[in-house]
Amino acid sequence: LQAFLQMCNLPIRVICRANAEYMSPSGKLPFIHVGNQVVSELGPIVQFVKAKGHSLSDGLDEVQKAEMKAYMELVNNMLLTAELYLQWCDDVTVEEITHPRYGSPYPWPLNRILSYQKQWEVRRKMKAIGWAGKTLEQVLEDVDQCCHALSQRLGTQPYFFNKQPTELDALVFGHLFTILTTQLITDELSEKVKNYSNLTAFCRRIEQQYFEGHEKDSSTIAARSSKRSLLR
């Protein structure tokens, strides 16, 4: 979302809150607060921003727009699901990283209760979409296939469509940057992304263009739990 709003050249103020999920109308992140309106999740936010006269994909024809939406669905169905699987369904990662990290803002026993509640929600979703029985190796293979498709579409272009970023570029950057910079038990997930040099170069390019230097801008407060960069 931050990448999308930066690409739209819209002023934003980012605030980290421990109870962000509970502030969101849909219970999901991200969400924005504009005036007296609160809009959650990337898709509805993109539509809200478009209604205000800001769109990254107006220059695309109908075929390109359909292709862009198809790739965005691929990212949501594969990368997002794989991230959730790694964080909440891999037992070692859950115990050593996810539970402590997710429950850190809360005192005991609330930290454990909320962590187990979130784990139950995610695992119920995995079961509903047929991912509960997958092995880690199968999940990583799905990620590799998704990255391969994205890499093929990107090629040597700076962005996925033409020379200007679209909503797809913002979405892909958000997920790939997260995968590349989030510490897990193993580096297997991030290594899948690193196998595609044009994808890592794509992430570096967007980070340099839309984030470096913006953190000191008065119109943008980039609140991150830790300093994360692909360039360091």
- pLDDT at position 232, please? 34
Whether 51 and 63 map to the same domain: the answer is no
Let me know whether 60 and 49 are in one domain. Answer: no
The Cα 51–Cα 6 span in angstroms is: 17
Assess whether 65 and 169 both reside in one domain.
Answer: yes
- Say yes or no: 123 and 205 in one domain: yes
Asked if 139 and 163 sit in the same domain, the reply is yes
154 and 100 share a domain? yes
Domain count, the chain: 2
Low-confidence stretches of the chain (pLDDT < 50) are 216-232
Among 55, 70, 95, the domain-final residue is 55
- 24 and 63 in a single domain? The answer is no
Question: Which range marks the domain in which residue 122 is found?
Answer: 56-230
From 55, 78, 94, give the residue that closes a domain. 55
Give the Cα separation of 28 and 20 in Å (integer): 8
42 and 145 in a single domain? The answer is no
Residues 86, 99 within the same domain: yes
Residues 51 and 71 in one domain: no
User: How is residue 215 annotated by DSSP?
Assistant: G
Burial class (CB in 10 A: 0-12, 13-18, 19+), 176: buried
Q: Whole-angstrom Cα distance, residue 214 to residue 210?
A: 7
CATH number for the domain spanning 60: value is 1.20.1050.10
Q: Give the per-residue pLDDT at 215.
A: 52
User: Of 36, 55, 74, which residue sits at a domain end?
Assistant: 55
Phi and psi at 38, nearest 5°, equal: -125, 125
Tell me what pLDDT residue 221 has: 34
Domain match, 4 and 81 both: no
Q: Measured at the alpha carbon of residue 12, what is the angle toward residues 8 and 18, in degrees to the nearest 5?
A: 130
Q: Which two tokens stand for residue 206?
A: 């967007």
Residues 143 and 43 in one domain: no
